Amino acid sequence: MSTHQTQVVIVGGGPSGLLLSQLLHRKGISSIVLEKHTRAHVLGRIRAGVLEHGFVNLMREAGCGARMDREGEIHEGFHIAHQGQLDRIDLAKHTGGDTVMVYGQTEVTRDLYEARDAMSGVVIHEAQNVQPHALTEARPFVTWEQDGEAQRAECDFIVGADGFHGVSRKSIPSDVLKEYEKVYPFGWLGVLSETPPVSEELIYARHERGFALCSLRSRTLSRYYIQVPLTDRVEDWSDAAFWQELKRRLPDEVAAGLQTGPSIEKSIAPLRSFVAEPMRYGNLFLAGDAAHIVPPTGAKGLNLAASDIYYLYHGFLDHYLKGDSAGLDAYSEKALARVWKAERFSWWMTNLLHRAPEGSETDLRLQRADLDYLFSSDAAQASLAENYVGLPY
């Protein structure tokens, strides 16, 4: 068995794990990232598209913001289509100038990998059977297999950034871990197409046939979603059927301008609200999707991972550079306080815009009243805007 020594072992080479590793390395704190898939597999995922300004600043602090600033788009608002009309939420006006950056998670991950390479960061791919050990001991360790060879890394701390299906959360004893979950009775069918976006800004559509979203990755790469029943499978949806249904859920003048084309990626994602508490057990910290999931309606998933990493990064800095562990000791409580606010916002925005399959006429009228109130009240729009651009860290 090969034995490695490091300060922090990070399980998971997605955006959470890579960002933390990069931030720590720039401050002289060593880490090893263990990723079970290949780099190509990780970069093949099409996921988030909207970055809060807090995440944007963190990418810049990590020295990974150059391409994002060059190729990303600053958005000052977005639209909500409902009852055949298009109403705009002016993010900048309601937040004193805060905005969001439209830049795909795939590109974020690519930038993080390139930065890790440039610093010769240790990111181990195809690490099999990763297993955290001795979580409550002073010197925990992680084992895994690499090309059939047993490996071990001894460290001070382990960060579980291994997503919803990872091993880290499951390493916390069941009498310690408490999980909260709400599963929504519908999913999102997403399509990526090499077509010009239908709109300069994002359009969230509430329609009696179901929710739709018009987003983008660039001026030549569009990302669209429609709400589908949980029973639907990707193979049930031809490209033609998708485009037809999307058009039916958009205002006529928007649908008329929609440029369709072949899907280069098509997938169905389930929607759930999920939180695991606590986000620390002994010397194991959970971060990102390993600890929480939100329905993507509020564009919070990736952005919550960023605030977890921000808190952990500063906690490790204080611990290693000042001998002060207060930040690490407060991590779980501090991260969960922001997580739950984002869960609430994502749940609210999902209920505002989706057609509940079992919803009653009363539910529909209440939903319409919520939208009528939203667009009749600056205070309501300011509340939506401050959540959408990202609550303070």
Q: Footprint of ligand FAS on this chain (CB under 6 A)? A: 11-17, 34-37, 42, 47-49, 105, 127, 130, 161-163, 165-167, 269, 288-289, 296, 299-303, 305
Handedness of CA 205, 206, 208, 212 (dihedral sign): positive
**Do residues 206 and 81 lie in contact, with contact meaning Cβ atoms separated by under 8 Å?**
yes
**Do residues 225 and 215 lie in contact, with contact meaning Cβ atoms separated by under 8 Å?**
yes
Nearer CB in complex with ligand FAS: 65/390? 390
In angstroms, the CA 80 to CA 379 distance is: 17
Handedness of CA 261, 264, 268, 272 (dihedral sign): negative
Look at residue 14 and give the partner it binds from ligand PHB, ligand FAS, none, a contact being a CB closer than 5 to 8 Å depending on partner kind: ligand FAS
266 is catalytic: no
Look at residue 297 and give the partner it binds from ligand PHB, ligand FAS, none, a contact being a CB closer than 5 to 8 Å depending on partner kind: ligand PHB
Look at residue 34 and give the partner it binds from ligand FAS, ligand PHB, none, a contact being a CB closer than 5 to 8 Å depending on partner kind: ligand FAS
Active-site choice (204, 310, 313, 320): 204
Task: Kindly state whether residue 65 participates in binding ligand PHB, applying the rule CB under 6 A.
Answer: no
At closest approach, how far in Å is the CB of 191 from ligand FAS?
13
Residues with Cβ within 8 Å of 299's Cβ and at least 6 positions away in sequence, in order, are 48, 49, 50, 100, 388
Task: Kindly state whether residue 223 participates in binding ligand PHB, applying the rule CB under 6 A.
Answer: yes
- Assign 103 to helix, strand or coil: coil
- Report 9-48 residues binding ligand PHB (CB under 6 A): 48
Q: Nearest Cα to 189, choosing from 272, 246, 240, 260?
A: 246
What residue ranges in 69-211 does DSSP mark as E strands?
73-75, 77-82, 85-90, 100-102, 122-124, 128-133, 141-146, 149-154, 157-160, 178-193, 203-205
Task: Kindly state whether residue 49 participates in binding ligand PHB, applying the rule CB under 6 A.
Answer: yes
- Output the residue with the shortest Cβ distance to ligand PHB: 49
Task: Kindly state whether residue 193 participates in binding ligand PHB, applying the rule CB under 6 A.
Answer: no
Residue with tokens 């990707």: 234
Task: Kindly state whether residue 354 participates in binding ligand PHB, applying the rule CB under 6 A.
Answer: no
**Contact with ligand PHB (CB under 6 A) among 199, 297, 307, 350:** 297
Q: Which residues lie near ligand PHB (CB under 6 A)? A: 48-50, 202, 215, 223, 296-297, 299
- Which residues form the catalytic set? 75, 204, 296, 300, 388
